Amino acid sequence: MKKNLVKGILYVLGIIAVVLIVVNTDWKEVSVHIRSLPPKSIVLLLLSQCFTIFLLALQWRSMALRVKEDVSFLDILLMNAKGSVVDAITPGVKAGGELARIYELRKRLQIDFGKATIVVGLQKTLSLLSFLFLTLFNLIWFTFNISVKHRHYIYTFAVVIAIFSIFLGALILLSLSPDRVIKFLSRFLSKTKLMGKIDKTLREYSGIIRDLLKDKKKFSIQMMLALFIWSFYAFKLFLVMKGLAIEMDLISTAAITFLTYIMGMIPILPGSIGSFESSMLVLLAIKGIPMEIGLSVAFIFRFATFWFEFAISGIILMLDNIVVFVRGRKGDKNVEVRT
């Protein structure tokens, strides 16, 4: 009951945020700013997002190779495309997208639920660790570079980051020490098949995490890749700023990027609509950017990093379905000929 109440409140807050933005915005001015973005900037933004999709597929494949040999890059690309589509309609932390990825990993790699969960867990652990590091660094920098009258916003961001840090820290500790989790769960699921699967998955995941941490070279490479992927999002926002002739240093741009994303993790509306745009508007306003220009920046950035990726993922899945359909038709014809 309480959970549904909290969800209801968050949804109402999200709707209010969207309504306030819609009502208080000069949309003609926003349109003018968006149209002022040079075609070269648009092309570069979209190509940058395509490169990000490629890098994410590489990251996912490297995680999948820890549970199975000979993993196809195409299978991983299709798996992540399915997850991205589900992410777009899932609020906040996007649990639905991760479940979709687990399902696709099981189907495409022919692995069990436990191994698929391990792959998703590994990728998320590395991704969130790198994201948290960048966000904390930028929050500290941002705190020392804004005026006193805006400090109350920093408290809000700090609270969200603290909650996020505690959750991630607890997850990592439990991953490295699965016995505590298993002991706790065994009170409710003692001597059941599900408990056996959970026990096996947690111990295997813990073992892979420990092996990765011991191999400092591989761990460093994976962390550098994760840090680069997240930092590349800040670069894309920087491209938007430059395209709209907004003068802002790269560190401020990075701070706005990561703080906006962490606020976007609050489960308000599907795709973080409302919390994402509102957070970016507030952060840009703190740096002296007018509302209409800030909204133009938010729209362009979201189009490149969210809606464009959603469209690309949909096209990839559609082409895959067409290929499967054509192959099926050819197979049916071959059967008819043989008959």
pLDDT digit of tens for each residue in the chain (339 aa)?
455 555 555 556 656 666 666 666 667 888 888 999 999 999 999 999 999 999 999 999 999 998 888 899 999 999 999 988 887 776 544 567 888 898 999 999 998 888 888 888 889 888 988 988 888 888 788 777 776 666 667 777 777 778 777 877 777 776 677 777 777 767 666 667 777 777 777 777 777 777 777 878 888 899 999 999 999 999 999 999 999 999 888 888 998 999 888 877 765 555 455 667 788 888 898 888 888 898 899 989 999 998 899 999 999 999 988 888 777 766 555 555 555
Cα–Cα dist 297/39, whole Å:
15
Backbone torsions φ then ψ of 246, nearest 5 degrees: -100, 120
Tell me, what's the pLDDT at 146?
72
Looking at the chain, the number of H-run helices and the number of E-run strands are 14, 0
Backbone torsions φ then ψ of 91, nearest 5 degrees: -65, 150
Tell me, what's the pLDDT at 338?
56
Tell me, what's the pLDDT at 89?
74
Tell me, what's the pLDDT at 95?
63
Tell me, what's the pLDDT at 15?
65
Tell me, what's the pLDDT at 24?
65
Tell me, what's the pLDDT at 273?
58
